[in-house]
């Protein structure tokens, strides 16, 4: 294809159409330029409403902002990295089983949105019982089974970890070392967890999302040294 050929590319989340010469699409271009055009259906809108209802009383651990902000951020990352509708719905619901009802919530997700969405959510869940097992035990078990998680599950999980790490950086800049009292793993445990997740994901596959997660985790490590 010659450089004069034009390609119309539509950004799925904004609806903006761009006219691009395919010859200029290189490694540094936004990842959504490569994604196949996709329109989200009423299933997504149903999932958005369901997620907002499930997490209505929940807040982010440190900032206190409504928890739905995290769900929306993870969903945006999944979309920007080529996620399909099932993955996008799972991103909205990735913490639902762990934080809002366990097995009963998983069954409802499967009923309303299908077994693939439920399976992706499983790949993001490190506990489905209350009280949860001890923190280190849960995290080690989660890391150990990452290799058995589907590529879709790993995409949503990496997006979750990416937004969490970005939030940690923002909060550390505000609170400094006092931040770590909010986390069961403390400073060392939290840093161990995110670095080990990155290293495990890189052993399985290297994607632009995993590379971005690696970059942001490295930024956090440098910041807290």
Which tokens belong to 98?
A: 């762990």
Report whether 91 contacts 83 (CB < 8 A).
Answer: yes
Report whether 132 contacts 138 (CB < 8 A).
Answer: yes
Beta pairing partners, 66: 59
Nearest-CA neighbor of 83 among 13, 167, 9?
A: 13
Catalytic residues: 98-99
Separation CA 68–CA 125 (nearest Å): 17
Which tokens belong to 114?
A: 């299908």
CA 223 to chain centre: 22
């Amino acid at each position: 294809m010659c450089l004069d050929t034009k390609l119309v590319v539509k950004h799925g989340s904004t609806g903006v159409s761009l006219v691009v010469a395919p010859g200029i699409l290189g490694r540094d271009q936004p990842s959504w330029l490569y994604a196949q055009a996709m329109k989200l259906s009423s299933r997504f809108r149903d999932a958005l409403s369901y997620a907002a209802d499930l997490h209505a009383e929940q807040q982010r651990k440190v900032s206190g902002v409504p928890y739905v902000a995290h769900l929306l951020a993870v969903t945006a990352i999944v979309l920007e990295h080529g996620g399909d509708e099932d993955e996008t719905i799972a991103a909205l619901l990735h913490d639902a089983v762990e934080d809002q009802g366990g097995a009963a919530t998983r069954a409802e997700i499967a009923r309303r949105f299908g077994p693939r969405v439920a399976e992706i959510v499983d790949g993001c869940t490190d506990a489905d019982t209350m009280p949860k097992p001890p923190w280190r035990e849960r995290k080690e078990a989660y890391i150990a089974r990452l290799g058995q998680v589907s590529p879709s599950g790993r995409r949503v999980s990496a997006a979750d970890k990416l937004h969490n790490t970005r939030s940690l950086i923002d909060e550390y800049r505000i609170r400094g070392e006092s931040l770590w009292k909010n986390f069961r793993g403390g400073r060392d445990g939290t840093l161990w967890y995110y670095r080990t997740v990155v290293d495990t994901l890189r052993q399985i596959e290297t994607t632009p999302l995993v590379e971005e997660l690696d970059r942001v985790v490295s930024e956090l490590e440098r910041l807290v040294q």
